[in-house]
Structure 1
């Protein structure tokens, strides 16, 4: 068995998953919450059994030590697993990191320097990397970057029409995110269809609390909706998505709002939450079904934005073979899939309403027999993708 420990670390949390990269199975998984705060807790799942563990966890190093104790208590000490690698999710890799990278002290410093582009993500992930390297000093550590998959975009897609001296000085360009998900889902769709991914023109719609669209041509990203940060693009749970930059100036000048207040408004108080009062798609769809006008309008804005990107990317790709729905909303909310694909028969997209209503954790097709474009639901697995990429890199060394 080849095992990889996958880590997704935040400023006060640490999500982990132990993956068998031979068959893709999840051996164990868990979440450490409230690191450095009172009431720190580890929720651990192994062999279908969920357990809760309370520990004093002042920092990420203690968090990793606590996780190793939990594994030992569950009769699965790490020493017995002979880890192949520890794979770390890192949100922002900038232009420097375009593929999975073996973590060294130099790589750590580079990730720290990129924190200015992802202040909400990279610092916490860097803390997790440093802590894990102390706990597993003899194991290979691999960084897998959300932005790496999108480094194949052409300059026409990733450059903003900004003064180029300013853009280059401050590294301002479209980077894109959710890259591990888009990469995994596009490949799984090709496997399901029995076609080489290199032959396909795909639009992947990663619809969760964070959401992004990606145009995938021949297995590579040629455009994606998120930009310098994960704020741009589709409407999300609490983020605005696309918005006129002048709204920032307008709110500052007329409402007296500070830059930090506007940042909070755009990232944490907008999106579905701002439109309907709830960031949870389940609440919004239920409210809309009961006749709530705000919720109905929120869903209209949400799906209109997705359709906008779907149409744009179909043109950029020069046609479509597949449209893929993934992530929490994409996989589980048939109303959204139906609204996105409504009245698109002229463009070769026709859903089978019965298939669309079915729920499954497997890859499935929801398009009608007469649909020229295959519409799929593909459950994403970012942890498995990180594990596979980490395993592949270590095997090549």
Structure 2
């Protein structure tokens, strides 16, 4: 059996895609769950609606996107009662994301009791980051007790795109050193050595790293103390500022990069500065990861911004020609698969991400091996 249903369950929505091998048979979104006028009263009804719309006979598995696997889950895992309990224990690390996934898992197990349910974790791909890249220089006993370390996210995207990049440049995955840049409303950078993540920009949560639509990315941690002690903001208010009112929105008043680019073109100084901050942060991470890897075969842009914003790609890598990194203006403007000049030491690529396909593939692998836990 090659058919896999992929579910991405949020607190008020369920996004689904049905695969047969790599072919998408159908896809859809059930949204505003539990809201007045929404598509469904609860997740139970949402999945029943899905089952009425979609032929789910002959499924090999249902693959569920789960944002946080903590230190326990370092690979996609067939769901049992014990696994469900462990995912629930991880909710404090991902309070906005894991509850929805947990609900989707419980409902799918109930409605499809004979089909293996597989949890595919965003964090799993980054479990190979060595300790010197995963740990912060804080009290080790405190960090160990509360699981304070770098976990990283967007793992299904970075895994898929890094493998595809190796194929594009004609190297075996195990020999390709790649920097992947997942640029969407959320954004992250990852250094991949021979198919294994060795560094990534997000941390214990998806907040740090690159500048994002509404998230700040990297900041001085003391800024939090200052806002609390001097500005008088509560912890909840500071969290709201950094996750929902920062990033491009905080800098320019617009969280969508398309609007930022429009304002920049019209001469808006705030939008121009926000764009410069955004691109400089990407460039800083590219340089950092080049140092981590020691060499790089390719740099790949992916996700909504990475795949569709030539201006970002051009400016993010500007000035790196001495390092063998350059963007060909014409290829870049055409969104070609390879946008670096012919013969460049480092190949610059634009590779569309396929996170749902990666989840489907992971679900098949997990079912074939009965899953694994880290």
TM (normalized to structure 1)? 0.92
Q: 1:391 aligns with which of 332, 352, 364?
A: 364
* CA–CA distance in structure 2, aligned partners of residues 88 and 319 of structure 1: 35
* CA–CA distance in structure 1, aligned partners of residues 72 and 56 of structure 2: 33
Matches within 5 A, 1:1-397: 2-21=2-21, 24-41=22-39, 57-71=40-54, 77-79=55-57, 82-359=58-335, 364-397=337-370
* CA–CA distance in structure 2, aligned partners of residues 193 and 314 of structure 1: 18
* CA–CA distance in structure 2, aligned partners of residues 351 and 226 of structure 1: 26
4+ residue segments displaced more than 4 Å:
none
- 8 Å Cα contact 1:351-1:371 kept in structure 2: no
Question: Could you list the per-position Cα deviations for residues 173-227 of structure 1 after superposition, in whole angstroms to 9, with x for gaps in the alignment?
Answer: 0000000000000001111222101111110000000000000000000000000
Q: How many residues align?
A: 370
- 8 Å Cα contact 2:335-2:350 kept in structure 1: no
* CA–CA distance in structure 2, aligned partners of residues 32 and 367 of structure 1: 40
SS at match of 1:84: strand
TM (normalized to structure 2)? 0.97
Question: Could you list the per-position Cα deviations for residues 69-108 of structure 1 after superposition, in whole angstroms to 9, with x for gaps in the alignment?
Answer: 122xxxxx323xx111000000000110011100001000
- 8 Å Cα contact 1:345-1:371 kept in structure 2: no
Please provide the CA RMSD for this pair: 1.0
SS at match of 1:78: coil
* CA–CA distance in structure 2, aligned partners of residues 239 and 174 of structure 1: 17
Question: Could you list the per-position Cα deviations for residues 296-320 of structure 1 after superposition, in whole angstroms to 9, with x for gaps in the alignment?
Answer: 0000000110111100000110011
Unaligned runs of 5+ in 1: 42-56, 72-76
* CA–CA distance in structure 1, aligned partners of residues 222 and 277 of structure 2: 20
Residue 256 of structure 1 and its aligned partner are, at CA, apart by 1.1
- 8 Å Cα contact 1:4-1:83 kept in structure 2: yes
* Greater relative CO, 1 or 2 (CA 8 Å, sep 6+): 2
* CA–CA distance in structure 2, aligned partners of residues 234 and 274 of structure 1: 14
Unaligned runs of 5+ in 2: none
Residue 392 of structure 1 and its aligned partner are, at CA, apart by 1.7
Distance 1:237 1:118, change over 3 A: same
* CA–CA distance in structure 2, aligned partners of residues 20 and 332 of structure 1: 28
